[in-house]
Structure 1
Amino acid sequence: MTAHFFTSGFAFHAHRLALLLAVISLAPAGLSAQTISTADQQAFARAMDAMNRGDAATAEPLLRQLHTRHPRSFEIDESLGLLLAGEDKVSEALPLLETAATVQPASDVAHANLGTAYLKLNRPKDAVHELERAAQLNPSNAATQQALGQALMQLNQPGPAAAAYRAALTAQPDDPTLLYNTALAEYTAGDAAAAAPLLARLPGADSSAEAQSLLGDVDEKLGQYKEAAQHYANAVHLAPTEPNQYVLGIELLRHWTFGPAVDVFNAGIQQFPDSRRMHTGLGIAYYANGDYAKAIPVFADLLAADSSNEMYAELLGRVCTVLTEGSDPRCTALIDFAKKHPQNAILATYAATSILHQPSDAAQLELAGHLLASAVHAQPDLPEARYGMGLLLQTRGQWAESVPELEAAIRLRPEYAAAHYRLALALNHTGQREKAQEEIALERRFSTEERNNVEARLKQVKTLLVTMQ
């Protein structure tokens, strides 16, 4: 899933929170009859006329002078606050709008404008307080409801945001911005089924990369995987950004389309060579596709660039342990990493296994033993560590001693084919040939199941994808 943002306009690519003051507010038409001189009444009228013409240079000094003489006039404070906010002087406008909302607490427009100013100043909690008050006073104001929806989305409250957006849609059912934002809120709240018909009504969705990406997420959640992939591909075509390219690659991996995923990530790296997650996706695609020799240098390069990154080390270790004959020299990077992170049982096991997969001298075998002992101590129920200990003992010719370690690995994972095979070897060396034959039968059974179990392989890939999130 890509990261989506609510939008203040139908230009989906922008996704900036636009100030809605001009939409929500109506400048006061005139001053209420108080102890205000005729001259000030006329000055205010001139200021309003200038504001209506878009002549802020004329209106601002008039309103500032009036504010000095009448510091708690709703009409003056509200008008000057709106003018300053329109010039992006929101911090200066805020106290004026706060005063106006205090002077006339029953004005929904005053609360709406104050709430929107808070929203612009990245104070969503304060914005929600004011906008909810405005919506209570006038629930039919679509602009208020839309601003409330945006504030709630900033507070990560998509459910209430969707309700606010739906209220706005009642007044503006064909507004593309509202349709998109409502769909996004519904999807984020976990209701993809409610988002789908809203997106179907969205005009111009075919030409919007952001809409296509959200459509892909909705289809993915609804189990319409073919349609989801097409929408993600459309998003890449419309806007070949790094996030869009990445999401398409992940979608292909998620549904076991490994060859095309390799192509997508390779293309992404050509465009975005510094994107580490694009390289990570390529390595996983190679691994999933059985191209282990290609996956190893990808993960090794990532680890070399970020030598303390446990995720890269685990990915390298996972693919290096697939090798059952020989080794790749770049797998030795795991050893240095494991020495520095002895508490990481799985990485210590991977590093020890990489040693055992290559011709090793006594010192190297001693290091493997130390790593495996650390792994077993840190995580006694890790079957790979117990298997690795059994393999090490067999490498030293200690066949009888390897039996309890391999039996422990099998207790922890009964379908562990390699452990059954190694246990069979140990039993055969210790004269227990009948039991050895039983273990060989189990090894053949579980090996066949591993080769044929597509779901198991897909589960491995999904496990790798989780590490990338």
Structure 2
Amino acid sequence: MAFLPALLFLALCLTVLHAAAQAANHDNQLFAQANAAMQPGQLADAERILLELRARHPHAFPINETLGLLYAEENHLHRALPLLTAAVHESPGEAVAHANLGDALFKLGRLQPAAHELAMSAKMNPSDAATQSALAQTYMLLHKPALAVPAFEAALRQNGDDAALLYNTALACYQAGLPAKAEPLLARMPGVEESAEAQSLYGDVDEAMTHYEQAAQHYAAAARLDPSEPNIYMLGIEFMRHWTFDPAIKEFLAGVQRFPDSTRMKVGLGIAYYGGSYYDKAIPVFSNLLAQHPDNAMYAELLGRDCIVPGEGTVAQCADLASFAEKHPDNARIATYAAITMLHGPRDPKQAALARSLLVRAMQSNPKLADAHYAMGLLLQEEGKWPQSIPELETATQLKPDDAVAHYRLALAYSHAGRMQQAHEQIALQLKYSHAQRAETNARLKAVTTFLVKMK
């Protein structure tokens, strides 16, 4: 979220050369003429006079400062910079000289030295709101919001009703991890109810303060005031954060329809479907994303998570997993997902053989992938090889002790082998860890939601 730009005016140092032994009265008159020429914009005449004066007085602060400001006014910043630098060296106690040099450095993109000069000026003249605001904005661009906060606050003390300044200060507080300081600033900001940008920031602030209902209201207001892609996206994300998937689906659907080229909107829609257990609707979303980005492992994994749900693996788009696995033989997880989807489908010797080859390759690539050992055990059981499934399922439960389904399958294998005591033990573990399946899903959802928040 970008901060609102504040106007930073060049403070033209139109001082008259005071009488000095080294300066002739004629030069004072010429300097006055140069200043007069600058007023109506006759900068060429002013430049000519100032250059003539500088040839005779190369170290005179007023001449260097004024000529530097003239070049800055014309946006000839590279010509202005050495003159403004010289002026600071000639009169280091002049706050305006540091401010003007800082402004030129800022416009040239030299943010660190700009911050130094603006900080010097602000220290000398802390009541200069323009300098304090410029310093704060420089710190924001340097990703130092904690340093920006006191500078913005100093500017606010001089101009406490400025909406842009209030917004900028609130943004700096939020980014500095001080949402409690940001909230009252937004509350007193003129026009906050009509500003989509302020409402979006208000949502971020309330979310950080765990005021979730208010956060949703502010995000909704931002989307209503400005139904832009970022605002609709953040409203969907807000619903996702708190497991309210149906409202999230509604927002992401509207977003996809309004912004069909927004990849993150499609990803958000697919994950909202997944979180709401609408796996059949999530599958085509991730399948289409994978078709558009055939080497994107994240889209393949999201598709795989939907396809391995029992009953969903027969959806045609789940076949995309096998294609991805063939092109990316080192991706053990996708190979495992592809194999599991095959095992959930109708029994087919060719599919079983392909599933076996995928699982063998997955375990070679990642021997500690519990899901691959579980899937191999499942395949062996599908083939009636119950005793052979035991080592694979034992490995799966060792690698992933809270996998309730693996404990259940191992109990079945022990039962077929007549090892009833061990079967009962596995059933007990299956019951103990049954709640963990949903917890794991929730953890995955939290992880992908966090990713969505950061997704550009």
Q: How does the TM-score come out when normalised to structure 1?
A: 0.88
Return closer, same or farther for 1:81/1:402 CA change in 2, 3 Å cut-off: same
Moved more, 37-46 or 121-130: 37-46
The answer to whether 1:7 aligns with 2:4 is yes
* Deviations 1:419-458, CA, capped at 9 Å, x for gaps: 12322332232233454355445545644x368x5x6554
Q: Which residue is equivalent to 2:122? A: 135
Is 1:262–2:252 an aligned residue pair? no
Q: State how far apart, in whole Å, the 2-side matches of 1:290 and 1:141 are.
A: 57
Specify the SS of the correspondent of 2:330: coil
CA contact (8 A) 2:313 2:342 kept: no
> Would the alpha carbon gap of residues 424 and 251 (structure 1) be closer, same or farther in structure 2, given more than 3 Å must change?
same
> Of 435, 445, 449, which aligns to 1:461?
445
CA RMSD in angstroms comes to 2.5
Q: CA-to-partner distance for each residue in 1:329-363, whole Å, 9 max, x for gaps? A: 21122222223333333222212222222246555
Which of 304, 325, 331 is the matching residue for 1:344? Answer: 331
**Which ranges of structure 1 fall in alignment gaps of 5 or more residues?**
10-17
- 1:27 and 2:13 correspond: yes
What displacement does 1:80 show? 2.6
After TM superposition, the structure 1 = structure 2 runs for residues 302-317 of structure 1, keeping only pairs within 5 Å, are 302-317=289-304
Give the Cα separation in 1 of the matches to 2:312 and 2:321.
18
Tell me how far apart the structure 2 counterparts of residues 235 and 61 of structure 1 sit (CA, whole Å).
Answer: 53
Distance 2:220 2:67 in 1: 48
Q: Where does residue 13 of structure 1 map in the other structure?
A: none
Structure 1, 43-52 or 187-196: larger mean CA deviation: 43-52
**Does the 8 Å contact 1:216/1:227 carry over to 2?**
yes
Give the Cα separation in 1 of the matches to 2:172 and 2:73. 28
- Confirm or deny: 8 A CA contact 2:170 2:186 kept in the other structure: yes
CA contact (8 A) 1:391 1:422 kept: yes
Contact 2:126 2:132 in 1 (8 A): yes
Gaps of 5+ in 2: none
Alignment counterpart, residue 223 of structure 1, candidates 210, 225, 243: 210
Between the two proteins, what is the percent identity of the paired residues? 51
Q: Which moved more, 1:326-335 or 1:117-126?
A: 326-335
The alpha-carbon deviation at position 270 of structure 1 amounts to 1.6
More moved, 149-158 vs 170-179: 170-179
Are residues 440 and 31 of structure 1, via their aligned partners in 2, closer, same or farther at CA, if it must alter by over 3 Å? Answer: same
Cα deviation, residue 418, structure 1: 1.7
Are the equivalent residues in 1 in contact too, given 2:333–2:362 (CA < 8 A)? yes
What is the identity, as a one-letter code, of the residue corresponding to 1:465? Answer: T
Equivalent residue number for residue 343 of structure 2: 356
TM-score by length of 2: 0.91
Q: What is the rounded CA distance, in whole Å, between the counterparts of 1:171 and 1:109 in structure 2?
A: 17
* Cα distance between partner residues in 2 of 1:365 and 1:389: 10
Q: Distance in 2 between matches of 1:176 and 1:156?
A: 22
**How many residue pairs end up in the alignment?**
452
Contact 1:317-1:331 at 8 Å conserved across structures:
yes
Q: Which residue of 2 aligns with 1:81?
A: 68
Q: Deviations over 1:377-431 (max 9, x none)?
A: 4444332222112112223332112112212222333332221232233223223
Does 2:189 align with 1:205? Answer: no
Pair 60,268 (structure 1): closer, same or farther in 2 beyond 3 Å? farther
CA contact (8 A) 2:403 2:436 kept: no
In the alignment, residue 4 of structure 2 is paired with which amino acid?
Answer: T
Q: Residue 135 of structure 2: which of 148, 153, 156 is its match?
A: 148
Measured against aligned partners, the alpha-carbon deviations of 1:69-102 in whole angstroms (never above 9, x if no partner) come to 5443322222232233233332332222122112
What is aligned with 2:414? 427
Which structure carries more relative contact order (alpha carbon 8 Å, separation 6+)?
1
- 2:230 corresponds in structure 1 to 243
Q: Specify the code of the residue in structure 1 equivalent to 2:319.
A: T
Task: Specify whether residues 21 and 70 from structure 1 end up closer, same or farther in structure 2 by C-alpha distance, changes over 3 A only.
Answer: farther
The 10-residue stretch of structure 1 (386-395 or 455-464) with the greater mean CA deviation from structure 2: 455-464
Question: In 2, distance between residues paired with 1:245 and 1:389?
Answer: 43
Query: Would you say the 8 A contact 2:313–2:341 is kept in 1?
Result: no
Whole-angstrom CA distance in 1 between matches of 2:187 and 2:35:
43
Give the whole-Å Cα distance in 2 for the aligned partners of 1:30 and 1:344.
75
Q: 1:226 to 1:112 in 2, by over 3 A?
A: same
Name which of structure 1's ranges 382-391 and 220-229 shifts more when overlaid on structure 2.
Answer: 382-391
- Give the equivalent residue in structure 2 for 1:276: 263
Residue in 2 aligned with 1:169?
A: 156
Task: Say yes or no: does 1:121 pair with 2:121.
Answer: no
